[in-house]
Amino acid sequence: MSSSKLIGELLIERGTVKAAEVENALLVQASKGGRVGEILVRLGAVSMQVLYAALAEQLGYPLLLANALDEDAMRAGMAKLGTPASWWLDRQVLLWRDDEGLCVASADPLDVDVAEALAGEPHVNALRWHLLLPADAEMWAQRLRASPHSVGADARSLRELAEDAPVVAFVNNTLAQALEARASDIHIEPGERECTLRFRVDGVLHTRSSLGMDRYPAIASRIKLIGGLDIAERRLPQDGRISTRVAGREVDIRISAIPAVHGESLVLRLLPKERGDIGMHRIGMESDHRALFEQWLGWPNGLVLVTGPTGSGKSTTLYSALSHINDGVRKLITVEDPVELRLPGVVQIQTQADIGYTFARALRSILRHDPDVIMVGEIRDRETAEIAIQAALTGHLVLATVHTNDALSAVNRLVDMGIEPYLVAAALRAVMAQRLIRRLCSNCAKPHPEAASLQRRWQVLRDRLPALHDVPDEPAWLAAGGCEICGGTGYRGRVGIYELVTVGAAMQHEIAQGGSSERLLAMADADGRRSMVDDGLIKSARGLSTLDEVLRAASEHGG
């Protein structure tokens, strides 16, 4: 059922834009023309997905997903029409027949030329309109047209391609769709015949669409242009970044381009500046782990490391820790690349390697600013490690991250960087490893088919666990289902699983003597260490996730 309300009114009613933003769009329309909805998208006030959901309500047409269309049906439907298929595809109009008549899908159902062409088609007795997002309509038109590959272009023509309005709109819409899908990364991967667009959602890659390679140069050039990369350079890796407004949200975007066989592979890391509430209560630590971690944060000095691979939530954990101890009494300074989240009351420093302002150089300078707590975004080299350890030994609490598979591998990592074992032993006070596992979608979770075997494993673990609240002796084990809310994955959102190891006097002595990883692990186990896999089993018992998901994120060895 259609609505008589203007699109701006519908968007305001839905709470997706503010009245001031619509007024601004109307002013732009009055001076430069265009449609209000498209202007709102260009201004970054709303995403194309949100706009078209409102248009569907306004026009009374269903909004179709790209994967809901049948290629064979569309090819057959357009072949039987009097107007050539190329004419429809040039206007990005898709047609097919079903039992009730002719179906039409387009991003612009108000196109007068299309309406006249449809009226002139014979044997069209029942016509049903559908809405498609512009990017989806363009993608399908390209696929049905089966265009040949484009040839290489020089920097001048690439810039012209990058500034073409449809290309700008496609990139903007892709960014907006990624944010709405809660994606952390966008991957654009060129192939021999197609370019694949994938989103990483909750740590797992999902293919969004496939595009003809004739579109790839323009899209790649546009992304490189907004990221400050050299659009003519296609032989060397490049990195760039941009801060912009997408779908009404401020976001930092890190862009990386690396040469591959069929063109440059592009990855865009999305870092929204506003991430809601940050705190210890949000990261999913069990009560005993949280109490131990908060005890670490109360120490006056020493080195506390958080370990894990890229994308395991280390930065979020450290931001939560800083928020917890930010009481106005201690001075907190961070050194990061990049600064992913602004924290009030914390001095945050962005390194800039291109001008020589590295982690090590920044650390040297901030030690003269009388900090109590220092956070180092990542210890990457010997120089940074040395300064962080010296700071930990001279009265500062240093929080830092390193890339290792488990907690105690951090000791070997520091030694491999060239730090003497006795210095590692003297400075290191605690290590925490972590991973992120996907949360079960609360709307479609279902009973687990192997609940009996999970219960047996749970009982063994339960007997050696300290008292944990809200964990029943016989949990209702759940498995992933799939619904519209979670996009058919069965999961929505993520929660952390952790392994915490306090480095006591005995372990410090063992580290100083060059003790093996096996020996350190045995000491940690004797001291009550809980592996990440066992911590994940507790999450599964709470109904937050599944053991399959835990094992995917943290193997038995790494757990």
Most confident of 93-102, 219-228, 394-403: 394-403
Tokens of 221: 């050039």
* Mean pLDDT of the region 133-140: 85
DSSP string for residues in 78-109:
HHTSSS-HHHHHHTTEEEEEETTEEEEEES-T
Check: CB of residue 215 under 8 Å from CB of residue 147.
Answer: no
**pLDDT given at position 147:** 42
Work out the average pLDDT over 349-358: 85
> The tokens of 217 are what?
């140069």
Length of the chain counted residue by residue: 559
pLDDT of residue 148: 40
Helices 216-226 and 165-180: crossing angle, nearest 10°?
A: 70
In the predicted model, is pLDDT for residue 509 greater than 90?
A: yes
pLDDT at residue 80 is higher than 50:
yes
* pLDDT > 60? residue 462: yes
Q: Lowest-confidence range among 161-165, 317-321, 489-493? A: 161-165
Distance of CA 368 to the CA centre of its chain: 36
What confidence category does residue 33 fall into, taking pLDDT thresholds of 50, 70 and 90?
confident
pLDDT tens readout for residues 191-209: 988 999 999 999 899 999 8
Q: What is the pLDDT of residue 402?
A: 95
Q: What is the mean predicted confidence (pLDDT) over 477-500? A: 91
Mean pLDDT is highest, among 132-136, 428-432, 456-460, 483-487, for 428-432
HSE toward the beta carbon, residue 318, CA cutoff 13 A: 35
Tell me which H or E stretch contains 210: strand 204-212
Output the pTM of the full model: 0.69
Give the pLDDT of residue 136. 85
pLDDT band at 554 (very low <50, low <70, confident <90, very high): confident
Q: At what angle do helices 517-526 and 505-512 cross, to 10 degrees?
A: 170
pLDDT number for residue 149: 40
pLDDT at 469: 58
Residues linked to residue 260 through DSSP beta bridges, in sequence order: 263
Confidence tier at 494 by pLDDT (50, 70, 90):
very high
Higher model confidence: residue 317 or residue 462? 317
Average pLDDT over residues 293-298: 96
The widest CA-to-CA distance across the chain, in whole angstroms, is 89
Sheet containing 373-376: give its strands across.
347-350, 332-336, 373-376, 397-402, 302-307, 428-440, 491-502
pLDDT of 62 over the 60 cut: yes
DSSP structure string for 132-165: --HHHHHHHHHHHHTPPPPPP--HHHHHHHHT-H
Q: Quick one: pLDDT at residue 78? A: 84
CB 188 within 8 A of CB 167: no
Q: What is the pLDDT of residue 234?
A: 83
Q: Which of residues 228 and 297 earns the better pLDDT score? A: 297
Give the pLDDT score at 150. 39
How much is the pLDDT for 155?
61
pLDDT of the residue at 488: 87
Average pLDDT (469-477) is 75
- Write down the pLDDT at residue 556: 47
What are phi and psi for residue 446, nearest 5 degrees? Answer: -135, 165
More confidently predicted of 96 and 249: 96
Least confident range of 56-65, 109-118, 147-156, 165-174: 147-156
Do residues 538 and 286 touch, judged by C-beta distance below 8 A? yes
Instruction: Measure the CA angle with vertex 354, ends 352 and 355; round to 5°.
Output: 75
Give the model's pLDDT for residue 468. 64
Contacts 24+ apart (CB under 8 A), 96-102: 96/69, 96/70, 97/73, 98/73, 100/126, 100/128, 101/125, 101/126, 101/127, 101/128, 102/77, 102/126, 102/127, 102/128
**Residue carrying the six token digits 């890796």:** 237
> Among residues 325, 317, 375, 343, which one has the least CA distance to residue 495?
317
Lowest mean pLDDT among 138-147, 340-349, 544-553: 138-147
- Average of pLDDT values for 97-126? 82
Tell me what pLDDT residue 436 has: 94
Identify the CA nearest to 273 among candidates 240, 249, 254, 256. 249
Rounded CA-CA distance 524/518 in Å is 10
Per-residue confidence (pLDDT) for residue 1, from 0 to 100: 60
Query: What does the pLDDT read at residue 559?
Result: 47
Nearest to 553, CA basis, from 485, 491, 470: 491
The pLDDT tens digits of the residues spanning 254-271 come to 999 999 888 899 999 998
Whether the predicted pLDDT of 533 surpasses 70: yes
CB within 8 A of 56, min separation 6: which ones?
Answer: 62, 63, 131
Q: What percent of the chain has pLDDT over 90?
A: 38
Residue 89 pLDDT: 87
